């Protein structure tokens, strides 16, 4: 799994940087979003695959969480591992919380960027960043 994630993150990172350097402003914005997603992948790979059970499972009706034995020992059972119970390592919930925040922020920045590019395309009648060059005095 790690190898797949490493390759995917690498490809998306390269793609994002390549698109970020394009002349077309929309492609540039897309590159920004791809880059952000690549970093989200990296974040995901940091901690999400460490454990073998979910971070939290709601207790059943009898009040017992399916992750715990009656004597309190943590065991992965009832999630397809009943044949071979082994000590459960809950996966890291913090990574997912951080990831959600990062996704929201990336979405906000991307929306703002697209809005600005929209206004710029109306004002300059072009999306070619080489012709949006009024700042060159």
Partner 1 sequence: MPNNPLVLAPVFIPLLFAVLTLGVARVNTNNNTAQRYVALLGSAIGTAFALVILGQNWMIAQAGDAQGAVQVYRLGGWQPPYGIIFTVDLLSSIFAAMSSVVVTAGILYAVRCKDKCVTYPAFMPLFLCMGGSLIGCFYTGDIFTLFVFLELMVLSSVVLVAISDNKLGLEAAIKYLMISATGTLFLLIGIAALYATFSTLNFADIARLLQTGERPLLAQAATVMLGAVFLVKSAVFPFHFWQPDFHTTAPTPVHSVLSSVVVKVGVYGLLRMITLLFTEEAALINQILMLLGIVGIFFGSLGALQTYDAKRMLAYSTFGQIGFILVGIGWNNPIALIGAIIYAVNHAFIKSAMLMLVGVVSSRNTMKTAKIKHIAGVGKPFPLVGILYFLGGMALAGVPPLNGFISKLALVRGGIETHEWLALGLAVAAGMITLLYVTRTYVLMFQQQPNADSATIKEKGMGDSAFAPFLLISLCVLLGIFATPLVELVTLAVSQMSDPYIYIRAVLGAL
Contact at 8 Å (CB) between 121 and 127?
yes
Cβ burial of 127 (10 Å; 0-12, 13-18, 19+) is: middle
**What does the alpha-carbon distance between residue 93 and residue 16 come to, in Å, rounded to a whole number?**
27
Closest CA to 92 of 48, 124, 56, 126: 48
**What does the alpha-carbon distance between residue 69 and residue 74 come to, in Å, rounded to a whole number?**
6
Which residue from 20, 48, 103, 127 is in contact with partner 1, where contact means CB under 8 A? 20
Closest CA to 110 of 42, 37, 41, 10: 37
Minimum CB–partner distance for residue 127 and partner 1 (Å)? 11
| Site residues (CB under 8 A) for partner 1, limited to 55-84 | none
Which residue from 8, 26, 46, 127 is in contact with partner 1, where contact means CB under 8 A? 46
Minimum CB–partner distance for residue 102 and partner 1 (Å)? 6
C-beta of 36 vs 88, nearer to partner 1 = 36
Identify which range of 53-61, 72-80, 81-89, 101-109 contacts partner 1 by CB under 8 A.
101-109
Sites of contact with partner 1 (CB under 8 A): 20, 25, 28, 32, 35-36, 39, 42-43, 46-47, 92, 94-95, 98, 101-102, 105, 108-109, 112-113, 116-117, 119-120, 123, 132, 134-135, 137
């Amino acid at each position: 799994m790690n190898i797949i994630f490493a390759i995917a993150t690498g490809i998306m990172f390269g793609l994002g940087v390549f698109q970020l350097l394009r002349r077309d402003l929309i492609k540039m914005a897309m590159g920004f979003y791809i880059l952000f997603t690549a970093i989200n992948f990296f974040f995901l790979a940091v901690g999400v695959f460490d454990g073998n059970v979910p971070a939290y499972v709601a207790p059943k009706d009898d009040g017992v969480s399916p992750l715990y034995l009656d004597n309190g020992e943590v065991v992965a059972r009832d999630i397809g591992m009943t044949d071979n119970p082994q000590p459960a390592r809950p996966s890291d919930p913090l990574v997912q919380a951080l990831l959600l925040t990062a996704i929201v922020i990336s979405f906000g920045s991307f929306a703002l960027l697209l809005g600005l590019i929209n206004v710029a395309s109306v004002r300059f009648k072009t999306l070619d960043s080489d012709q949006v060059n009024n700042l060159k005095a």
